[in-house]
Structure formats: C-alpha cells, structure tokens
Amino acid sequence: MTFSIVARSDDGESWGVAVASKFLAVGSAVPAAVAGVGAIATQASANVAYKGLALSHLDEGATAGVALQRLLEEDDGRDHRQVGIVDVDGNAVSHTGRECFDWAGGVTGAGFAIQGNILTGPEVVDAMLAAWEGSVGTAFERRLLAAMEAGDRTGGDRRGRQSAALLVVRDGAGYDGLDDIAVDLRVDDHPEPLTELARLLDLNDLYLTASTDEEKVEIDAALGEEIGALVRAAGHPDLAAWSGSENYEMRVAADGSWIDRRVLAILRQQ
C-alpha cells in the first residue's frame, strides 16, 4: 500500500527516505534515519519496531544486509513485510515478503533501495529508478522527491493518494546546527500529497536551511540604514526582532553582519 526510496547521497554525507501511500500519515510509520548510521523504510504490513532495531544494528557496525537478515530472522510476520535499508557506506537492500499484496517488489543499486506494494505494476519502480539515476547532481532531497513524483505519475499506489513524507539527515544540518535533521516533512492527508510535499520543501529551504556564502549579502552602512528603516516601518525595533518574528533566524546573521539575498528581497517587498 506504499512506495518508497531509501538512499545515501553520492557525497556520503546525507541519508534519507521518501514515501507516499493511500494511508493516513504514512510518515509516522515508514521512515527512520540517523546521520552517520543509515536509513530504513518499513511498509506493507509494517513492523514499526524495525526502525529502531535496524538503526541499532547499523550503529553497532552491521551492514544493511546483516541488519535486514537479523530483522527477518526475529519476525514471524516476515512474509508480510516490505523493507528497504541503506547503511553508512551506501550498501542497500530491499525485502518484499511473499505475502505482500500485488504488485509488490523492489530494486537496489549503489546507495539506494526502491520498493512498493499494491502498486499499479512494476513500471512504478522502473520509473522511480530512471528518475533517480537521471538526476545525478541534483540536491539530494530533490532527487528523492523526483523519484517519488516519477513513480506517482506512472501509477503509484493503485488505490489512490493520501499521504507522503520526506526525511533527510546530515550531521549538523538541523535547526541552528543542533541536530541532524535537514528535512522532516509530512503531508498526512491530502488529495495531492506529493505536490503539497514539494511546496513544503520549498518553504523548508527558505526557513530551515542555513544560507550559503553565495547567498549572504554583507550589510554595510548604507544597507544597514535601509534595512533599519524597513524593519521599523514594519513595526520592529531592529533587524534581529524582525527576523525572529518572521522566522528567518537561519537567514540573518546573529550579529547583523549579513542578510540572505532572498530575505532582503522579501523585506524590500513588504
């Protein structure tokens, strides 16, 4: 009843899961990942205990294949499970139990595992694979989303659409650099969940991603005067107060030395 991709980025710094389903809040059940450890998707008749167990095995040094073997050995319901795992080194495995509802199957390659059940057919997995392999060089989270969108366009879950989720982890990528969550977005109930997920990813990039050096505009005396006038006109005493109120903390320097070019454009348009 679900299709997903689990992967490690080509640079070996990020791990992620993207998933969609005709199932309420699929992001609450299927994905789990830890930076420097690996990622897993558990679906079909999902055994949610797989998430913690698999990540624990991987953290202790097991490969994706060994972690999967341990999960299945200890689970009497293994024939009803579907799971994809990628480890710290990019080794990837996928399991589809023989009792999973048709069409069910998956494919693996260097750094990724793609799988789905109750799909319109194998063309869904094929389209996801083609999109993943054809998007090398694209931002990791965008590649994951592109694979999902390709599968959805090809038929996806044959029962329809309801929810989707995207989880990406990378060391120091979280809010203010204090955890590993680069992206953690869920669309729990929506007629077009992947379209909505793409919209949320755009917002995530603006609000919850730190500015690159290329995006930073130095605030000199003249720009500082302009910004001061703009934020006061908006009812705030200074740039720090405005950026905090508007949730742009990741896009403005704490010491006021620079501002993100996109945020500056937004401020000028207010």
pLDDT of residue 115: 98
Domain boundary, last residue among 207, 223, 256: 207
pTM for the full predicted model: 0.94
Distance (Å, rounded) from C-alpha 55 to C-alpha 53? 6
pLDDT of residue 270: 87
Identify the three-state secondary structure at position 84. Answer: strand
Same domain, 119 and 187: yes
Identify the three-state secondary structure at position 14. Answer: strand
Q: Mean pLDDT for each consecutive 10-residue tract of the chain (270 residues)?
A: 95 98 98 98 98 98 98 97 98 98 97 98 98 96 98 96 98 91 98 98 95 96 97 96 95 96 95
Tokens of 204: 């995530």
Identify the three-state secondary structure at position 94. Answer: strand
Count of structural domains within the chain: 2
* Domain housing 150: 2-207
Same domain, 79 and 115: yes
CATH number, domain of 103, equals: 3.60.20.10
pLDDT of residue 20: 98
Same domain, 162 and 122: yes
Same domain, 107 and 190: yes
Same domain, 222 and 258: yes
- Tell me which residue of 121, 44, 24, 34 sits closest to 84, measured CA to CA: 44
Same domain, 56 and 178: yes
Same domain, 190 and 82: yes
Same domain, 219 and 155: no
